[in-house]
Amino acid sequence: MFDLTLESARLAVIGLGYVGLPLAVAFGKAMPVVAFDINAARIAALQAGHDATLEVDDDELATARQLTYSSAVKDMAGCNVYIVTVPTPIDAHKRPDLTPLIKASETIGAVLKRGDVVIYESTVYPGATEEDCVPVLERVSGLRFNKDFFAGYSPERINPGDKLHRLPTITKVTSGSTPEVADFVDALYGSVVAAGTHKAPSIRVAEAAKVIENTQRDLNIALINELAVIFNKMGIDTEAVLQAAGTKWNFLPFRPGLVGGHCIGVDPYYLTHKAEAIGYHPQIILAGRRLNDSMGPYVAGQLVKEMLRRRIHVRGARVLVMGLAFKENCPDLRNTRAIDVIAELRDFGVEVDVYDPWVDPVAAQHEYGLALTACPATGAYDGIILAVAHDQFRSMTPAELRAYGKDAHVLYDLKYVLPATDSDLRL
C-alpha cells in the first residue's frame, strides 16, 4: 500500500551536478532534503556556500535552509523519497553507459525501506527505469517492486548556463509506477515548479518523451550543418541564407555548429541503442549523429585550406581556439566537440593554444589533457577560431580579436559573433 504524502516526504537527491543541485535547492527551500554526492570535494565546496558549476549562485544556495549536504550513505537512511540525478554518458563506442545509474541504484537499495519511492531524472532509453534500475533496487534491498517500494520518472530539462529557463519555469514531465505514485510524484514536483507539470501515462512514455526532445534538436541542427557545407561549396554565406529564410513565419531558427554537451550529442544514442535492441536499425537519427560528429574535422579542414590559400605554412603554425566549453557562458566541458577541432588541427601538425575564461584549467587537464592558455599572446597566431560565443568574446571588437594574429592570419568565426565582412571564414 502506498501512503506517502507531501507532508510526510523526506527527500534525498543523489548526484549534485548541473541537474541535481538546482533540484535539491528548490526542494530545500520548502522541505527537509539530504543532498548526496560521492565527491567529497564537491560536498565541501557546497557546504562552504559555493557551486563551481555556477548553476546556483551563492545567495540562492543560502536560501535553501532545510538542505543538508553529505557524502555518507547513512545520512539518507531517514529519507523516504530518493531522486536520482546522476549522469548517463556514452562510452567510447557510443553505447549507453549506465554505470553511474546502476551504482546510484545500489546505493539507494542499501537504505531503501517499505513504502519508499525512487524517482529517476537521468536521461535513459524507454524501459531503463523498470528493466535496468528496479531489478538492482530489488536485489540490494530484498524488497519487491510495486509492493514494498515504488518508482517514478521525471526527466530533467536543465539547460546549463541558461539563466532564463530555470527549474521553476520549465514544465515538468512526471510519471509513476502506479496511479497513486504518479499522483504523488506529480504533486511533489508541482510544489516547486511554478510552470506546472505534465503527468505522462507511464514511466516508459516519460522516458521516451525526454530522449526524443534532444534527438529532434540534433536532427534539426544536422540539417543546417549539411546545408552549411553545401553553401560553403557554392560560395554562399550560410547566415545570410538563414536570415532570409527566417522571414517566413514557420521557419525554425537553428544555426550550424559543433554539437556537444551531455544532452543533444548523447541522448540520441540511447534511443538508437534501444531501437537496435528490439530489431530496428534507425537511419535518420544515426545519419544526423554522423554528420554532427563530423563537423569538428570539417571546421579544422576549412581553416587549413584557407591558410594554404594565403600561403601560410600549416605544419608548425600556431592556432588559437577561443572556447572549450560545449556552449557559451558555461564552464561545462561534457562532450565538448571543440576537442575534435583541436585534435584534427594537431593531426595537421598545428600547434594549438586553447583559451576559455569560463573553464576550470584543472578540469580541462583532467578531462582532455589540455593546458589552457591563461592569456593569449598578441601577434602570435596564424589562425584564430572563435569556437564558443562567450560574452567576453562577443564584447571584443574585430580589431581586438585580430590583434592575437600575425600580420598574415585567418580569423574563423564559427559562431557568427562578427559581421561577415569582419571575419575570413564562417561556417
Active-site residue set: 263
- The helix-helix angle for 295-309 and 284-293 (nearest 10°) equals 40
Chain centroid to CA 426: 25
Say if residue 255 is exposed, middle or buried (CB neighbours under 10 Å; 0-12, 13-18, 19+).
Answer: middle
Rounded to an integer, what distance in angstroms lies between the CA atom of residue 427 and that of residue 412? Answer: 8
CA distances from 33 to 62, 126, 258 (A): 14, 28, 38
Terminal-residue alpha carbon distance, the chain = 58
Residue pair 384/319 in contact by the 8 Å Cβ criterion: yes
Rounded to an integer, what distance in angstroms lies between the CA atom of residue 34 and that of residue 66? Answer: 9
CA distances from 42 to 32, 72, 178, 361 (A): 20, 13, 35, 17
User: DSSP string covering 51-111, please?
Assistant: -TTSSS-HHHHHH-TTEEEES-GGGGTT-SEEEE-----B-TTS-B--HHHHHHHHHHHTT
Determine which helix (DSSP H) or strand (DSSP E) holds 222, and give its type and residue range.
Answer: helix 203-234
Determine which helix (DSSP H) or strand (DSSP E) holds 117, and give its type and residue range.
Answer: strand 117-120
The HSE-up count of residue 312 (CA atoms within 13 Å, CB side) is 23
Nearest to 98 by CA among 207, 253, 220: 207
The HSE-up count of residue 71 (CA atoms within 13 Å, CB side) is 11
